Amino acid sequence: MSLQAVISLVVSTLVTIIASTLVYVRGRAELNAKVDSVHDELVRDRIPLRMKPYADFMRQLAPLSRQRLEAWRHQRHLAAEHVSIFNDAVYGEVGLLASSDTRELILAARAACIQFSEWKIPIGRLQNRVWAIHQALRSDLGIKQPNWPDEIERRRLQRQAGDDAAIDAIVDSAVHMTYGLYGPDTPRPCSLTPKVSFTALVLDMDGLMLDSELVEKKAWQKAATDFGCSISDAEFILLVGRTEADVREILTEIWSNRSQPTDSFPEILATKNGYAASMEVPAKEGLRELLTWASTEHLPVAVGSSSKRQKVFDRLGAVGVLNDVDVIVGGDEVSNGKPHPDIFALAARRLHVASSSCLVLEDSDSGIRAASAAGMASILVPDTSIPRIIPTDVTALASTQAASLLDVLKLFRIATSRP
């Protein structure tokens, strides 16, 4: 066979292959278009069947609406009561009809209700979940929204959400401005100084929110005396801002150095708690005004205390401010207390904000050091009921210092230019 014949054969073969490939690609594209068309038509035909169960579910979500949800801050038990609504939705008609990521959002809202009722997430987090459900239901019904794929497109892309990060990505893709979710109620950064801005507050409790350090000092000293031990005023300063485990370690070392009994700590602690419980622990001046300001500014507030979680609940409840904070972290919930960053780091996680976005208000040396270790700015508000000399390294770590919570509020009002 001549060279020209070989070349002709090769060219002919290549042309045949290319032509066949083009026919296949064109046929495949037409087939895919037909499949998509049939799929879309079937979905559209079935969507009306969802209208009633979806509408019923959305009516059940009415108490979770934006206007009513704010009242839940003062009645957190209502959130736990709505868990059954989400259970019925997931395992009932809505769950059978809904897309996979809609079911995931309903489950996420159920978890958020439980977490909110247990003081583990702020109200805004629950709000996000509820509004995400509304948007997902609208999408399931084929109601198009910019940047939010409708049901047909979502099924085609097989979008699924299996964890918080994936769910948040779906939520963030929605146009919340349509619902006002990220409207005027959005926390905006408050600038304390040119170098310090924040979108959340973390408050210590004893000595900062409550005038409790003097009560604690009297109770500790009286209880120690009952068991043949002693705690001087200077030694008590070492206990301020510390967890119960740290207090035990400190006192055990002090008492052993003085040949005082160290094996009575559990009894001394129980006696101290009894004495403290019998004494009134008032709120610090300016606390209520500060919490009201934070609520007006829509700034989430966490309490990060070295005291046990239940003690925080009891004391804040006694002065009537328990429902004015979003998140509570107790010293018994972490491995390491202040001056380690664990308490404040956990508070930031529960607020779902970056540590660098938090501003800590503290009265103790260990608290200021803990805030610094957590990467948070801080304001030192010394507790004047317990006279002490503040170490220079503590004042250096604090962003600024204020004499009282009222003075802190003045700083905030100036910073936000609000009279």
Highest mean pLDDT among 88-97, 147-156, 179-188, 402-411: 402-411
pLDDT value at position 179? 36
Neighbours of 171 (CB within 10 A): 21
Neighbours of 148 (CB within 10 A): 21
pLDDT tens digits for range 15-38: 677 777 777 777 777 777 777 777
pLDDT value at position 178? 32
Structure tokens at 297: 């500014």
Q: What is the mean pLDDT of residues 149-162?
A: 46
pLDDT tens digits for range 42-60: 656 665 666 778 878 877 8
pLDDT value at position 165? 55
- Confidence grade of residue 360 (pLDDT, cut at 50, 70, 90): very high
pLDDT value at position 177? 28
Work out whether strand 301-304 and strand 327-329 pair parallel, antiparallel, or are unpaired. parallel
Helix ranges (H only) for 75-199 are 77-81, 83-91, 93-97, 100-117, 123-140, 151-157, 164-173
Instruction: Check residue 267 and report its DSSP letter.
Output: H
pLDDT value at position 1? 60
Mean pLDDT rounded to a whole number for the chain:
80
Considering the four listed CATH numbers 3.40.50.1000, 2.40.50.100, 1.10.760.10, 3.40.50.20, the one that applies to the domain covering 190-210+284-415 is 3.40.50.1000
Q: What is the mean pLDDT of residues 283-302?
A: 91
pLDDT value at position 285? 94
The reply to whether the predicted model has a pTM over 0.85 is no
| Phi, psi dihedrals of residue 373, rounded to the nearest 5° | -65, -30
pLDDT value at position 316? 92
pLDDT value at position 338? 93
Highest mean pLDDT among 214-218, 254-258, 381-385: 381-385
What is the chain's alpha carbon radius of gyration, rounded to the nearest angstrom? 30
Structure tokens at 291: 């919490």
pLDDT value at position 219? 84
